């Protein structure tokens, strides 16, 4: 077990050039009157090294490259809320979710839980008795994966799958474990008589319910739901989303809900963060952001949503080109090669900080007449 804080520094040449966004996204969240966030990421960064094969290195002298999957994200999520995370494929949503559950170790940045930094895989929390105690982070945070087909061990029965986290939670006797397995299976809407079945004996929706039960078994406080319904039929999607909402109310769960489908995000999220090429580019409450998207990328994203009612349709915004490679991201604003509203050379040269536009935070130079969002590090966030 590591004993150092999960606050790791990237080598200076690895870190993005230009002004840092600091803890800008953190600030508005502190402004919603809910006090200390449950989970808070500051400057969270994940770079994946890509090593070329020995042959490629010898013959064409190919160098090691770096995928900048997540590049300095600040995000704060308060107890009991659901933050929706949207963005095109490959923009870093899963990597961010995995870092927040420590399935990926960050290259740089810090994660805090209830204001306390992670030390190794442990964090100090205040117990029911009011005393601080150290607990493994995975007791507090869990993940529900996109693909219920591949995220469950095909060789284990439901009972075995659920017993693993229950033992890790400290349940010891067979009786205790069995009672909890029965409770969980029933709670997620499965037949308790099917606990000796294997994952392949269930439908996709049922398998996702097993995945949810497995996450719930640890009695976590925070769950990253990474596209939990995208591989399911629409009717089943609704059932699984309803289940997640019921469980949230019952157990005061906090969600980071990752999805491509904006209608799902609109339905389930209290707030939405929009991600592009490893950066969060806009953040606000769901109603504000859907009503008045400010960042050109958010505008394009929302304009692409099919709307049946003619009067409610937005003009389509067709973005030119594809998402740039995270191996060689553009300097300045990450969106500038595709931006239809580019302000000028500043867009190509400097990473925009977050500007406060109404209740939203927008990382775009178009709003540089608005105040820059103060960083949490400056202590200003408490004033907002
Ligand atoms: N283990 C890894 N090694 C190298 N590159 C990786 C690794 N995991 C992810 N990446 C790269 O990091 C970038 C972000 O990937 P990520 O899976 O986080 O995106 P995403 O937004 O979740 O995409 P999707 O919507 O398709 O699930 C991509 O370019 C991806 O290829
Ligand atoms: S900073 Fe410039 S390039 Fe980036 S979204 Fe705003 S206007 Fe477009
Ligand atoms: Mg993903």
Q: From the DSSP assignment, how many helices (H) and strands (E) are in the chain?
A: 11, 14
Distance between CA atoms of residues 78 and 241, nearest Å: 20
Question: Which ligand lies nearest the alpha carbon of 293?
Answer: 2
Domain membership flag for residue 236: no
Domain range for 295 is: 31-140+263-383
The Å distance, Cα 288 to ligand 3 centre, comes to 25
Is 376 close to ligand 2, i.e. is its CB under 6 Å away? no
Domain membership flag for residue 207: no
Is 211 close to ligand 1, i.e. is its CB under 6 Å away? no
Query: What does the pLDDT look like over 224-265, one tens digit per residue?
Result: 999 999 888 888 899 999 999 999 999 999 999 999 889 999
Domain membership flag for residue 176: no
Distance between CA atoms of residues 256 and 77, nearest Å: 8
Residue 220 in contact with residue 137, Cβ under 8 Å? Answer: no
The Å distance, Cα 59 to ligand 2 centre, comes to 40
The Å distance, Cα 325 to ligand 1 centre, comes to 11
Is 94 close to ligand 1, i.e. is its CB under 6 Å away? yes
Question: Which ligand lies nearest the alpha carbon of 334?
Answer: 2
The Å distance, Cα 242 to ligand 3 centre, comes to 22
Residue nearest to atom 1 of ligand 2 (CA): 364
Domain membership flag for residue 246: no
Residue 158 in contact with residue 185, Cβ under 8 Å? Answer: yes
Which DSSP symbol is given to 368?
T
- Report which ligand 1 atom has the smallest distance to the Cα of 50: 4
Is 310's pLDDT higher than 90?
no
Chain-centroid distance of CA 152 in Å reads: 21
Beta bridge partners of 258: 85, 226
Retrieve residue 20's tokens.
């840092």
Is 139 close to ligand 2, i.e. is its CB under 6 Å away? no
Q: Tell me the Cα Rg of the chain.
A: 22
- SS3 for 65? strand
Lowest mean pLDDT among 4-13, 90-99, 284-293: 4-13
Beta bridge partners of 66: 49
Chain-centroid distance of CA 44 in Å reads: 11
What percentage of the chain reaches a pLDDT higher than 70? Answer: 85
Question: Which ligand lies nearest the alpha carbon of 260?
Answer: 1
Which DSSP symbol is given to 233?
-
Please report the pLDDT score of residue 50 as a whole number: 86
Is 20's pLDDT higher than 80?
no
Which CATH number is 324's domain given? 3.40.50.300
Please report the pLDDT score of residue 127 as a whole number: 79
Tell me how far CA of residue 153 lies from CA of 54, 83, 162, 198, 203, in angstroms: 34, 29, 11, 9, 15
Please report the pLDDT score of residue 260 as a whole number: 86
Contacts of 55 (CB under 8 A, 6+ apart): none
Taking residues 27-53, what's their average pLDDT? 76
Is 303's pLDDT higher than 90?
no
Please report the pLDDT score of residue 313 as a whole number: 60
**Assign residue 288 a region: left if phi > 0, alpha if psi is -120 to 50, beta otherwise?**
alpha
Distance between CA atoms of residues 81 and 97, nearest Å: 16
Domain membership flag for residue 94: yes
Confidence of residue 319 (pLDDT cuts 50, 70, 90): confident
Lowest mean pLDDT among 159-173, 188-202, 257-271, 314-328: 314-328
Is 212's pLDDT higher than 60?
yes
Which DSSP symbol is given to 264?
H
Distance between CA atoms of residues 347 and 352, nearest Å: 8
Is 339 close to ligand 2, i.e. is its CB under 6 Å away? yes
Tell me how far CA of residue 311 lies from CA of 289, 305, 306, 307, in angstroms: 19, 14, 12, 9
The Å distance, Cα 65 to ligand 2 centre, comes to 27
Is 19's pLDDT higher than 90?
no
The Å distance, Cα 230 to ligand 1 centre, comes to 17
Is 211 close to ligand 2, i.e. is its CB under 6 Å away? no
The Å distance, Cα 383 to ligand 1 centre, comes to 36
Is 341 close to ligand 2, i.e. is its CB under 6 Å away? yes
Please report the pLDDT score of residue 317 as a whole number: 74
- Report which ligand 2 atom has the smallest distance to the Cα of 334: 4
What does pLDDT average to over the chain? 85
Domain membership flag for residue 210: no
Domain membership flag for residue 202: no
* Nearest residue to 105 (alpha-carbon basis) of 25, 14, 2: 2
* Nearest residue to 239 (alpha-carbon basis) of 211, 205, 215: 205
Domain membership flag for residue 255: no
Q: How many domains is the chain built from?
A: 1
Helix residue spans in the chain (DSSP H)? 26-30, 54-59, 93-100, 158-169, 174-187, 204-217, 234-251, 262-268, 286-291, 296-303, 345-349
The Å distance, Cα 100 to ligand 1 centre, comes to 15
Tell me how far CA of residue 355 lies from CA of 24, 302, 366, 381, in angstroms: 9, 20, 9, 13
Choosing from 324, 331, 347 the residue with most ligand 2 atoms within 8 A of its CB, the one to mutate for a pocket test is 347
Which residue pairs, CB below 8 angstroms and at least 24 apart, start in 301-309?
301/86, 301/87, 301/262, 301/274, 302/262, 305/262, 305/263
Is 68 close to ligand 1, i.e. is its CB under 6 Å away? no
Residue nearest to atom 5 of ligand 1 (CA): 48
């Amino acid at each position: 077990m590591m004993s150092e804080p999960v606050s790791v520094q990237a080598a200076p040449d690895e870190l993005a050039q230009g002004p840092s966004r600091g803890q800008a996204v953190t600030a508005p969240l502190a402004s919603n009157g809910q006090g200390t966030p449950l989970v808070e990421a500051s400057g969270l960064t994940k770079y994946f090294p890509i090593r070329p094969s020995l042959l490629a290195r010898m013959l064409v002298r190919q160098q090691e490259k770096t995928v900048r999957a997540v590049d300095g994200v600040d995000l704060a999520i308060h107890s009991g809320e659901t933050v929706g995370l949207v963005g095109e494929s490959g923009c870093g949503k899963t990597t961010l979710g995995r870092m927040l559950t420590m399935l990926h170790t960050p290259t740089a940045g810090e994660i805090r839980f209830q204001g306390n930094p992670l030390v190794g895989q442990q964090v100090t929390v205040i117990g029911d008795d009011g005393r601080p105690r150290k607990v493994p982070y995975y007791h507090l945070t869990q993940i529900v994966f996109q693909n219920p087909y591949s995220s469950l061990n095909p060789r284990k029965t439901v009972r075995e799958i659920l017993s693993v986290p229950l033992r890790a939670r400290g349940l010891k006797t067979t009786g205790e474990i069995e009672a909890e397995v029965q409770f969980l299976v029933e709670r997620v809407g499965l037949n308790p008589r099917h606990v000796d079945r294997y994952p392949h004996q269930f439908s996709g929706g049922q398998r996702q319910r097993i995945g949810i039960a497995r996450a719930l078994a640890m009695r976590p406080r925070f769950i990253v739901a990474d596209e939990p319904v995208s591989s399911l039929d629409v009717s089943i999607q609704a059932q699984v989303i309803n289940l997640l909402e019921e469980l949230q109310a019952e157990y005061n769960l906090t969600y980071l809900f990752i999805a491509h489908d904006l209608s799902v995000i609109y339905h389930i999220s209290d707030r939405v963060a929009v991600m592009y090429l490893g950066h969060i580019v806009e953040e606000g409450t769901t109603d504000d952001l859907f009503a008045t998207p400010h960042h050109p990328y958010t505008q394009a994203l929302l304009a692409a949503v099919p709307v049946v009612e003619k009067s409610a349709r937005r003009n389509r915004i067709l973005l030119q080109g594809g998402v740039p490679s995270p191996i060689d991201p553009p300097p300045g604003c990450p969106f500038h090669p595709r931006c239809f509203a580019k302000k000028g050379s500043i867009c190509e040269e400097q990473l925009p900080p977050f500007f406060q536009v109404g209740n939203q935070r927008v990382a775009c130079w178009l709003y540089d007449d608005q105040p820059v969002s103060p960083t949490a590090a400056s202590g200003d966030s408490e004033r907002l």
